Amino acid sequence: MPSYPLRLGGLFFLVSCLLLVGCSPRMVQVSGTVKYKEKPLTQGAIQFLGSDGASYAGTIGSDGTYSAKVPTGEAKVSISCIDEAAMVKDTKAASDALRESLKSGKQAPRPKGRKTYSLIPEKYADFSESGLTVTIKDSSPLNFTLD
């Protein structure tokens, strides 16, 4: 038969486990639409920074809608939308110029690509600068309209 301190330790462990499980946030599927200047974004990503410190992501579809599984509670939001076609084009041009310079022995010209490929203000891609916060309680739609 186990001693009294051993039983008490086991009971403490069981109660601690139940409290930890009971206190963790519930996960819910959220969805909505992301618009920039009243028009739906046609690509991109949305991220929620949960109160647990973890990031939960969703992809923005061609109609501006997204879906993500996130914990309930307060969350900061970041949204990014990159012109991938322009970025690939500029990267290819820079790669071709470098390859040509290696063949010729001459220094490659400076790339003429853009400084940014973001199709929306870059502040929205940063949790601390976006100004976007939400309280997630259930699966109610969360829509975002960016200026």
Per the structure, the complete domain to which residue 95 belongs is given by 83-117
Q: Which residue has the tokens 């990503």?
A: 45
**Does residue 123 lie within any of the structural domains?**
yes
- Please indicate, yes or no, whether residues 74 and 109 belong to a single structural domain of this protein: no
Alpha carbons 140 and 145: distance in angstroms, whole number: 16
Q: Which of 56, 33, 30, 49 is nearest to 146 (CA)?
A: 33
Pair (124, 76) in one structural domain: yes
Residuewise pLDDT in 10s, the chain (147 residues):
555 555 555 545 555 544 445 566 899 999 999 999 999 999 999 999 998 999 999 999 999 999 999 999 999 999 999 998 888 988 888 888 888 888 888 887 776 666 789 999 999 999 999 999 999 999 999 999 999
Q: Are 75 and 48 in contact (CB under 8 A)?
A: yes
**Global pTM value:** 0.75
Regarding whether 111 and 53 lie in a shared domain, the answer is no
